[in-house]
Structure 1
Amino acid sequence: MTSDPKIMSGQACIRVMRVPVSLALNLVANGQTPEAIIEDYPYLEPEDIQRSLQYAGQRFPHPG
């Protein structure tokens, strides 16, 4: 994940692309499979989706 205040208002992005992590997370949360996401966004790789989920898990850990 990358973050640059000059790119996408500093949102965490996938690699150095202008694709916010929140996009991948929102798609997964709404039932999209990684395969479907990659079909719609062919410049993404399966690892990008996995890393987005890992990022969210680290950023917002389970309170228990």
Structure 2
Amino acid sequence: MTGRPARGPDRLIAPQLVAATTLWYPSAMVHDRIEIKPDVMGGKPVIKGTRITVEHVLRECAVGMTPEQVVEEYPHLTTADVLAALAYAADYLREHPVIAAE
């Protein structure tokens, strides 16, 4: 492929689905501590070796938890794991433009 996102009829195909089929996956979206597997949490990005989704980590931070507090709540995570989830989300937003509803 050309490095561009795969496209469906009128919209972009979800990148985690495309990544699972190895058609396209931007290099900026590759994070050592994050993995996407179709058979783990429905193919959502998770902290490697766990079933804790990036989304869950973001929600914990969104309600005011610090990375250290997330690690206290989930002792098998490290602060680096939490920071990797935040970095993954930032890269995802950079790579996938948001289209405002009319």
The reply to whether residue 28 of structure 1 matches residue 76 of structure 2 is no
Structure 1 spans left out of the alignment, 5+ residues: none
Corresponding residue for 1:40?
73
2:82 is aligned, of 27, 49, 52, to: 49
Distance between the aligned counterparts of 2:73 and 2:83, measured in 1?
16
Structure 1 or 2, whichever has the larger Rg, is: 2
Q: Give the structure with the higher percent helix.
A: 1
Q: TM-score, normalised by structure 1?
A: 0.90
Of all paired residues, the percent bearing the same amino acid is: 34
Structure with the larger RCO, 1 or 2 (CA within 8 Å, 6+ apart): 1
Q: Figure out how many residues of one structure are paired with residues of the other and give that number.
A: 62
Q: Which runs of 4+ in 1 moved over 2 A?
A: none
**Shift of residue 16, structure 1, vs aligned partner:** 2.1
Distance between the aligned counterparts of 2:45 and 2:54, measured in 1?
6
Q: TM-score, normalised by structure 2?
A: 0.58
